[in-house]
Amino acid sequence: MTAQIAAAWALIGLVTTIVLALASARIGRERAAAWLVVLGLVMLAIEEPLLTLFWSAIGPGADRDGMATLVTELARAHVLDSAALAAGLLVLLGWIALTAFRRGERWAAGTLIAGWAVVAATVLTTTLAVHGRGLPIGPGSGYGWEQLGVGLLAWAIGLWLVRGRAAGARPRTSGQGAS
């Protein structure tokens, strides 16, 4: 992936985030919020665990970040396991967003808020301490912050749209958003 493709992918995610946020009154806040969370999770999954799966399966001859021939089999197994487990967790969070969160169940909002906090803290820590992802902070150069930023933003806006539910407020409904 080139920096231009990464930027285009992030721009598509950002435009979709804006459209969903603006359409929330028409399609229902809960529906828009759930899809914003899922959009954020997809953006994050592609940039983190799925990219890690790719890099762990190939060597540096195919991609400069490929690690298949550079680490031991044990280390590669752990990288593959970690990436697969992370991708599975993001799928689970997406399922929660499209079911219990969308129905207004308080535990789901709390789970998604906690998940967002953990992911945001992890991304911030690795950006500052391991690789700056193209930002003028932390070590390293390149790109990648755009997709992470849009993913976290979409997820956060989804949580914000239904912010009262986590505190125990009744879910808001609209005529067209009840499906």
Distance CA 146, CA 137 (A): 14
Q: Within a domain: residue 84?
A: no
Q: Within a domain: residue 132?
A: yes
Q: How many domains does the chain have?
A: 1
Mean predicted confidence (pLDDT) in 110-133: 92
Distance CA 177, CA 31 (A): 6
Q: Band of the pLDDT at 93, cuts 50, 70, 90? A: very high
Return the percent helix, strand and coil in the chain, to nearest 5: 75, 0, 25
Q: Within a domain: residue 65?
A: no
**Domain boundaries, position 38:** 3-46+91-167
Distance CA 37, CA 81 (A): 24
Task: Give the pTM.
Answer: 0.86
Structure tokens at 122: 């992890």
Q: Within a domain: residue 17?
A: yes
